[in-house]
Chains A and B, each alone.
Chain A
Amino acid sequence: MSIDLNTVWFLLVGALLAGYAVLDGFDLGVGILHLFVDRDEDRRVFINAIGPVWDGNEVWLVTGGGALFAAFPPVYAGVFSGFYPAMILLLFALIFRAVAIEFRSKQPMLWWRRAWDVSFSVASFLGSFLMGVAFGNVIRGIRLDAGGEYIGGFIALLNPYALLTGLTTVALFAMHGAIYLVLKTEGGIQATVRGWVNNAIIVFVICYAATTMATLLYLPHMGQAFKASPWLFALPVATMLAIANVPREIFRGREWRAFLSSCATVFGLMALVGFGMFPDLVRGVDPSTSLSVYNAASSPGTLKTMLVIAGIGIPLVLAYTVSIYWIFRGKVKLDAMSY
C-alpha cells in the first residue's frame, strides 16, 4: 500500500494535534483540577508541575494550526472563520491561562492569587470544552457552501453531540491531568490527587461510552473504516486496555507507566477520530461539500517543500521535548525562581 502526499499530511497534522492533546491535555487538566485544592502551597505545586513545560506544549497547537494553514488552507480558513465566536472565546481562554500562570504567584495578596486561581481554572475548563465542541462539530458535519464557507450559524454549533464531545474532552483532560499530578507530587498532596484518579477515570469512561454510542447511532460515516477493515477494532480495544492499566500501575507505584498509559489513551482516541474521518478533514452536512485531503490541499509543490521542513524540524522538536522532560523529571520542588 502506498501512501500519497495528501495522506502523509493528514497524518502529520493529525500527529501534531494528537501531540497537542497528549501534552497540553494534562496542562489543561491540571488547570481544571486547580480549585479542588485550597492551600496556597498546593496550588503552587500544581502550577509548577506544569511550569517548565506548558508553554512548549502549547506550541504543538500553534504549529498544528500553522501546518493546517499550510497544508489545508480551506480547512483552516473555513473552520476558524465559521466558528468565529467560539474561536475568539478559545483565544481568551488561552490568553488567561497563560497570564494566570505567569502572574499568580508574583504578588502575595490573597485577592490577587484567588483571582488568578479562578482565571487559570475557568480558562483551562473553557479551553478544553471549546476544543471538544469544535472537534465534535467537525466530526458530526457542518453546513458548508460550495466555496467551503460555513453557513450554519453559531447556535447550530451548540448541538447535543458537540456538547457531549466537549464534556468528554474536559473529562479526558481532567483524568490525564490527575495522573500527571500523581507523577509530579509527593506526600499529603499526592495522596489527595491519587484519590481523584479513580473517580476521574469513572467520569471519563461514562462520557466516552456515551459519545461512542451517540457516534455509532447517529454518525454511521464514522464507523465505515472500521466495518471495512475489522482489524482496526484493535485500536478502541487497546485504548480501553490503556485506561484500565492506569489504576493498576498507580497501585503498584509505577507512576511513569501510569502516565504513559494515560498518554496512550489520549493518543488512541485521536487516532480513532482520524481513522473515522479520513479522507475528510471537515465533514459537510451535504457530503459533497466535505473538505477532504484531496479537495482542500495546498499545491503538491508546497506539500513537498513542507515535508522537507517537517523532516528537518520534527527530529529536532522531539529531541528538545525529550531533553526538557528528562531534565525536569521528578517531583516538584518550590524555590526562588518558581511560579
Chain B
Amino acid sequence: MDVTLLSRIQFALTIAFHYLYPPLSIGLGVALVVMEGLYLKTRLPIYQQMTRFWVRVFGLTFALGVATGIVMEFEFGTNWAAYSRFVGDVFGSALAAEGIFAFFLESGFLALLLFGWDKVGPGLHFFSTVMVCLGAHFSAIWIVVANSWMQTPAGFRLAEHGLGRRAEVTDFWAMVFNPSTVERLTHTVLGAWQAGAFLVISVSAYYLLKGTFEDFARRSLRVGVGLALVASLGSLATGHLSAEGVSRHQPPKLAAMVAHFPVSAPADLYLFGWVDEPGGKVHGMAVPGMLSWILHGDASAPVAGLRAFAPEDRPAVQVVFQSYHLMVAVGMTLIGLAAAGAFYTWRREVSPPAWLLRLFVASVLGPQIANQAGWMVAEVGRQPWIVYNLMRTSEGISRSVSAGAVVFSLVLFTLVYVLLFALFLYLLDAKIKHGPLSGDLAASPKRA
C-alpha cells in the first residue's frame, strides 16, 4: 500500500478513536454546569451527589481525550509534513490559539473540578466547572475553524516562499469565519451535547431498570433529557444549514452524500439505498424531487450531480452516501427518544416503561455513531482534496516517511487503542456499577 493511503488510514483511526472522548467532555461539561447550578440554587444534597458522580465519569473521559489528543497535534507534522508547510500560516495559528485559549483554561480548572472540593468554596467550584465547560467549547471552536478552512478556504492568498508554495493569511477574521465555520461549529457542538446527554440518559435508565439509586437516576434523567431534546432538535436544524452550505461551497460532496449523478437535473432524496457507482444509479427508496425542494423550495429545481465533475475530483460515493444516511437515521431516532423522554419527564407521576428504558440504555451509542459518521461525511466527502480545491491529499504527505514506518506506527496504534478502549469500558462499567457514593450526600464542601 502507498504512504498516502496508510497515512490516511492512520489519521482516520487516531481521530476516530480520539473523537469518542471530546464530545463526551463537551456534553458532560454542560450537564455538570446544570447539575452543580441546581445544587447551588436548591442546596439539595442529591444534586451534589450527582455532580460528584458525573465529575468522576468526566475525569475518566477527559484523561482519555488528553492521552489521545496529543497524538493528533503531532500527527500533522509526522505524517503530513508537506501539508503542514503549506497551511502552517493558517492551521498552525488555530492550533496554537486552541492551546493557549482552550487547553490551559480546561486543564487548570479541571484540577479544581476534580481535586478542589475541599480546597475552594462551592461558588468557586461551580465557577471552575463553568470554566472547564467553556474551555472544552473553545477547543471545539478552534479545531472546527481549522477544519472548516480546509473545507472552504478563505482570507488567504497563495505565495511562493523559499521552501515552496504556501497559503498566507491575508484577513484573519475572514479565515476564522470562513463560509462553513458557523454551521459546522454549531452542528459539531450540538452533536457533542447529544453525546454527553445520552450518556447521562443511558446510565440513569440503567439504574431505573435495576431499581437502584432511583432518586439520583430520575433527577439525572431529567437533566439528560432536557439537554438531549435541545441538542437533538438543534442538530437537525444545523444539519440542514450545513447541507445547504455544502450544496453552495462543495457541490461534489453534496452529490456524493445523496448519490445524485446527472450533470444537472431535479434531485430525489433516498431514504436508504445502495449505490451502483459504475452504473450511476442507486437501488433503494427515494422521495422524488425532495432534495431539490429542500435546497431550493422547488421540487423541479436542477441540482449539480457527480457527472458534473471530473472523475479524479469526486469523493468515494458509497462511503459518503452510507455515512450520511446512517447519521441522519440515527439523528432522527435520537429526536424520537429525546421526545419520548421529555413526555415522561413532563408527566412526572408516570415512570417511563421498561421497553423505553432499555432503549435509553442503548441510546448512548447513538450520538457516537452519528458523530463518527458525520466526520466521515465531512472528511471523505472533501476528498481527493486535503485543502479543498487547493491541495490534493496525496500532495500533503511527509516525503521522508516510508510506508514501512507508517505500517509500524499503524500496527502499534491499533494494538494500543484496542487495549485503551477495553480498559476505558472496563473502568467506566466499574464506576457505573459502583454508582454514586453515599458519602457524597453527606460531604459538606468548604465554605469560602
Contacts and interface: CB of A to CB of B under 8 A. Distances in A.
A63 B99 contact: yes
Given A70-B96, A84-B405, A77 B70 contact: no
A303 to B, nearest CB: 9
A178 B101 CA distance: 31
B163 A302 contact: no
Given A69-B76, A76-B92, A149-B400, A99 B420 contact: yes
A106 B57 CA distance: 12
A71 B97 CA distance: 12
Interface residues of B, number: 74
Given A148-B163, A324-B112, A338-B115, A84 B400 contact: yes
Interface string A203-238: 000000000000000000000000000000000000
A87 B81 CA distance: 13
Chain A CB within 10 A, most for which of B81, B115, B118: B81
Contact of A299 (B87, B163, B168, B408): B168
B182 interface: no
A36 interface: no
Interface in A298-339: 298-299, 301-302, 305-306, 309-310, 313-314, 316-317, 320-321, 323-324, 327-328, 335-338
Contacts of B399: 81, 149
A77 B84 CA distance: 6
Given A92-B412, A149-B400, A327-B112, A309 B96 contact: yes
A295 B104 CA distance: 30
A328 B111 contact: yes
Contacts of B118: 335
A291 B439 CA distance: 58
A284 interface: no
B284 interface: no
Contacts of B159: 299
Contacts of A336: 437, 439
Contacts of B85: 73-74, 77, 148
B60 interface: yes
Chain A CB within 10 A, most for which of B78, B87, B169: B78
Interface in B31-85: 59-60, 63-64, 66-71, 73-74, 76-79, 81-82, 84-85
A305 B67 CA distance: 30
Given A70-B95, A324-B108, A301 B74 contact: no
Interface stretch (A51-59, A156-164, A274-282): A51-59
A317 to B, nearest CB: 5
Given A62-B73, A106-B427, A316-B104, A55 B81 contact: no
A296 interface: yes
A285 interface: no
A24 B322 CA distance: 44
Interface string A40-65: 00000000000111011011011101
Contact of A56 (B71, B73, B95, B104): B104
Interface string B88-131: 11111101111111011101111110111111100000000000
A147 B119 contact: no
B395 to A, nearest CB: 13
Contacts of A37: none
B448 to A, nearest CB: 12
B100 A310 contact: yes
B107 A59 contact: yes
A141 interface: no
A2 interface: no
A31 interface: no
A67 interface: yes
A110 B79 CA distance: 39
Interface string A83-118: 011011011101100110111001100000000000
Interface string B164-176: 1010111010000
A174 interface: no
Interface residues of A, number: 72
Contacts of B93: 70, 302, 305-306, 309
B416 interface: yes
Nearest to A72: B88
Contacts of A95: 67-68, 70-71, 416, 420
A324 B120 CA distance: 11
Contacts of A66: 73, 92, 95-100
B108 A321 contact: yes
B271 interface: no
A82 interface: yes
B398 A299 contact: no
Nearest to A101: B63
A18 interface: no
Contacts of A103: 423, 427
Contacts of B81: 77-78, 80-81, 149
Contacts of B91: 69
A151 interface: yes
Contact of B103 (A62, A72, A102, A301): A62
Chain A CB within 10 A, most for which of B99, B105, B437: B99
Contacts of B163: 74, 147-148, 295-296
Contact of B92 (A69, A148, A316): A69
B88 A99 contact: no
Contact of B84 (A52, A56, A58, A69): A69
B354 interface: no
Contact of A69 (B77, B101, B111): B77
A41 to B, nearest CB: 18
A317 B110 CA distance: 14
Given A66-B92, A73-B92, A76-B84, A309 B115 contact: no
A22 interface: no
A79 interface: yes
B401 interface: yes
A88 B412 contact: yes
Given A327-B119, A328-B119, A91 B70 contact: yes
Nearest to B97: A309
A10 interface: no
Interface of B: 59-60, 63-64, 66-71, 73-74, 76-79, 81-82, 84-85, 87-93, 95-101, 103-105, 107-112, 114-120, 159, 162-164, 166, 168-170, 172, 398-401, 405, 408-409, 412, 416, 420, 423, 427, 430, 437, 439
Given A78-B81, A84-B401, A102-B59, 17 more contacts: A53-B111, A55-B111, A58-B70, A59-B99, A62-B99, A63-B96, A69-B95, A73-B88, A74-B163, A76-B92, A80-B77, A81-B398, A85-B409, A92-B416, A95-B67, A301-B169, A316-B104
